[in-house]
């Protein structure tokens, strides 16, 4: 699918444009948008509104063919909601309806001429990016392994977006296309079956990214991890026949003296729960427990295309969590890379065991900031549902600033996060009679307790934790990976650059 920007100044030329379809907006009181007014020179659009075939409700559509005086073969009327300022939700509905309709048409090209500069609280650049994002999401395929795949939809393959300030919005288009590529990679990896998407496979993907985009890539093996005293990571990995992989990617395009931003991804390619075995129902979805790893790889795909002048390091700890004679047992005590001892009370709280060693490892980079990404707790789903990822940082000036950066980036990218507390009271729940801390706490506030556990290993740098258990994938009829929080993270990094 190809995208381009057309200037707002070309609105008058829409009347004679030889396009397969032009999408224009109409309001609930039968008011026409500027572009719709231009195409109504022969009165065809006004007649359709007068007939009551479309009322202007946000997301409603009506396809007209052979509109008098219009050069395009089709005109798609799209409801924008009440007249006046277009709301973000209304524009999203209109845009999604437009792109869905484009996918069913028998033409190769189309023009999105919705009022992208009139969305309340948003810029035209956001609307351009949103168009690319939604179009690419609609065309994503999950049927790779089906013996009989549905034919690829024909529909519109070339989309021109009408927007002001062509130069600025071409930059937005470039960024949106790179982010969409990153999201698609993250979704593809997370949706891949766990017998195929193993730690070794993710290491291969990282190496291919490095070769394609000039990243330095290093993959640490079991022996190297043991030499580093990553005993918590290995305590999770030891139950599986699949060897663990610890992947490091480096995009070092900034100045030598600039401290890097480090992204740390949890990469449990299948989480059975280990000895603390999960219930069978829904266990297939535990292939998504590498959503943090997929997100980091997706971000690096986008960085490879955008080449921002900054230093970014990605660290991904990959393994399976399986039950076997070698698996860690509840009651076992392991010593982390940091030297802290941990009593494993539940082997299904494995993500924090993996991350604690990874978070200790990244100290060597003297980072400007560290953000870890993990499908960590069901408690975060209870707290926030599937709308926002959980954001956790310490409560001080430096961490408040980092939290605000992530909140702002999430807002810009329509990939929301919500800040939840990390306080001493939650750390108290992790006390153990036999080790420095336990890997689970007493009941209540599970997402904050998990973040409080991780905080013990982040004392030497500015850190934030993103819990994406509710946002990295969808369940039910629409089961599949979302690619979140790739848009948020790319925007966060670009804001910093």
Write the secondary structure of 419-478 as one string of H (helix), E (strand) and C (coil): ECCCCHHHHHCCCCCCCCEECCCCCCCHHHHHHHHHHCCCCCCCEEEEECCCCCEECHHH
Q: List the catalytic residue out of 136, 287, 352, 484.
A: 352
Coil, helix or strand at residue 482:
coil
The helices-and-strands tally (H runs, E runs) of the chain is 15, 19
> How far is it, in rounded angstroms, from Cα 375 to Cα 355?
11
Q: For the chain, how big is the Rg over CA atoms in Å?
A: 25
Q: Which is the catalytic residue, given 57, 137, 170, 278?
A: 278
Whether residue 352 lies in the annotated active site: yes
β-pair partners for 391:
419, 466
266 is catalytic: no
Q: 298: alpha, beta or left, given left = phi > 0 and alpha = psi -120 to 50?
A: alpha
What's 328's DSSP letter? P
Rounded Cα–Cα distance for residues 122 and 78 (Å):
19
User: Residues for the chain: how many in total?
Assistant: 497
> Angle at the Cα of 303 (from 301 to 306), degrees rounded to 5?
115
Burial level of 287, CB count in 10 A (0-12/13-18/19+)? buried
Q: Tell me the Ramachandran region of residue 425: left when phi exceeds 0, alpha when psi lies from -120 to 50, beta otherwise.
A: alpha
Tokens of 248: 């490091």
Tokens 């969305």 -> residue = 119
Q: Give the Cα separation of 401 and 404 in Å (integer).
A: 5
491 touches 397 (CB < 8 A)? no
Residue 334 pairs in a beta bridge with: 342
Q: Report d(CA 139, CA 142) in Å as an integer.
A: 10
Angstrom distance (rounded) from CA 63 to CA 50: 15
> 3-state DSSP call for residue 340?
coil
**Of residues 38, 6, 56, 34, the one with CA closest to residue 118:** 34
Q: How does DSSP assign 23-67, residue by residue?
A: EEEE-TTSPBPHHHHHHTTTSHHHHHHHTTS----TT-EEEEES-
- Alpha-helical (H) ranges within 214-290 are 222-227, 231-237
Residues classed as catalytic: 278, 352
């Amino acid at each position: 699918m190809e995208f381009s920007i057309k200037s707002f100044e070309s609105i008058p030329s829409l009347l004679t444009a030889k396009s397969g379809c032009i999408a224009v907006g109409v309001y609930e009181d039968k008011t026409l948008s500027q572009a719709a007014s231009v195409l109504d020179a022969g009165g065809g659009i006004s007649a359709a509104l007068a007939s009551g075939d479309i009322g202007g409700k946000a997301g409603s559509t009506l396809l007209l063919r052979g509109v008098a005086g219009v050069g395009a073969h089709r005109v798609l009327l799209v409801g924008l909601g009440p007249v006046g300022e277009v709301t973000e939700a209304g524009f999203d509905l209109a845009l999604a309806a437009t792109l869905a309709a484009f996918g069913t048409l028998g033409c190769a090209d189309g023009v999105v001429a919705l009022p992208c500069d009139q969305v309340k609280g948003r810029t035209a650049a956001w609307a351009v990016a949103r168009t690319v994002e939604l179009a690419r999401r609609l065309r994503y395929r999950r049927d790779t392994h089906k013996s009989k795949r549905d034919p690829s939809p024909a529909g519109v393959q070339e989309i021109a977006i009408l927007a002001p300030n062509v130069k600025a919005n071409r930059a937005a288009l470039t960024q949106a296309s790179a982010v969409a590529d990153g999201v698609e990679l993250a979704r593809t990896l997370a949706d891949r079956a766990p017998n195929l998407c193993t730690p070794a496979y993710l290491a291969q993907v990282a190496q291919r990214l490095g070769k394609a985009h000039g990243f330095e890539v290093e993959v640490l093996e079991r022996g190297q991890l043991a030499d580093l005293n990553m005993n918590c990571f290995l305590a999770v990995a030891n139950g599986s026949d699949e060897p663990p992989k610890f992947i490091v990617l480096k995009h070092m395009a900034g100045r030598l003296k600039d401290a890097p931003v480090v992204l740390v991804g949890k990469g449990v390619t299948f989480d059975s729960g280990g000895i603390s075995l999960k219930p069978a129902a829904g266990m297939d979805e535990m292939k998504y427990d590498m959503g943090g790893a997929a997100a980091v790889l997706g971000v690096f795909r986008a960085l490879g295309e955008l080449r921002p002048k900054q230093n970014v390091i990605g660290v991904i700890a990959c393994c399976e969590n399986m039950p076997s004679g070698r698996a860690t047992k509840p009651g076992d005590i392991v010593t982390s890379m940091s030297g802290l001892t941990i009593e494993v009370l539940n082997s299904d709280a494995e993500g924090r065991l993996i991350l604690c060693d990874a978070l200790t490892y990244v100290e060597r980079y003297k980072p400007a900031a560290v953000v870890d990404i993990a499908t960590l707790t069901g408690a975060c789903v209870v707290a926030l549902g599937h709308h926002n990822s959980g954001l956790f940082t310490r409560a001080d000036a430096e961490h408040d600033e980092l939290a605000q950066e992530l909140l702002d980036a999430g807002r810009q990218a329509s990939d929301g996060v919500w800040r939840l507390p990390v306080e001493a009271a939650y750390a108290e729940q992790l006390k153990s009679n036999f080790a420095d801390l336990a890997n689970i706490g007493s009941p209540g506030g599970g997402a904050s307790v998990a973040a409080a556990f991780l905080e013990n290993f982040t004392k030497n740098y500015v850190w934030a934790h993103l819990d994406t258990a509710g946002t990295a994938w969808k369940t039910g009829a629409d089961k599949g990976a979302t690619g979140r929080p790739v848009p948020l993270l790319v925007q966060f990094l670009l804001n910093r650059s």
